[in-house]
Amino acid sequence: MSSRIQPVANLKEYFKDALHGALANQRLAVEDQTEHYVVNLLTLFARSEALFEHTAEGLRVKPLVVMLSEALEAHSRTERDRGLQRLGDVSLFVAGFFARGFARKLIDIDYHIAMGGCAYGTLARRLVPPGAPQAAAARRGRVLGQVFAELAEKFQPMVDALNELSEAGYAHSHKDILRLYELWVKTGSRRSYALLKRLGVEPTAHPGTAPGVLH
Instruction: Summarize the confidence of residues 50-71 as an average pLDDT.
Output: 85
Q: Each residue of 168-189: pLDDT tens digit?
A: 655 555 666 776 777 777 777 7
pLDDT, position 124 = 93
Query: Quick check: 82 pLDDT over 50?
Result: yes
Of 74-83, 136-145, 184-193, the least confident:
136-145
Distance between CA atoms of residues 50 and 163, nearest Å: 20
Cβ(85)–Cβ(119) below 8 Å:
yes
pLDDT, position 133 = 56
pLDDT, position 186 = 73
What is the residue extent of each domain of the chain?
A: 8-171
Instruction: Summarize the confidence of residues 48-73 as an average pLDDT.
Output: 86
pLDDT-based confidence at residue 209 (cuts at 50, 70, 90):
very low
> Can you say whether the dihedral through the CA atoms of 68, 72, 75, 77 is positive or negative?
positive
Q: pTM of the full predicted structure?
A: 0.76
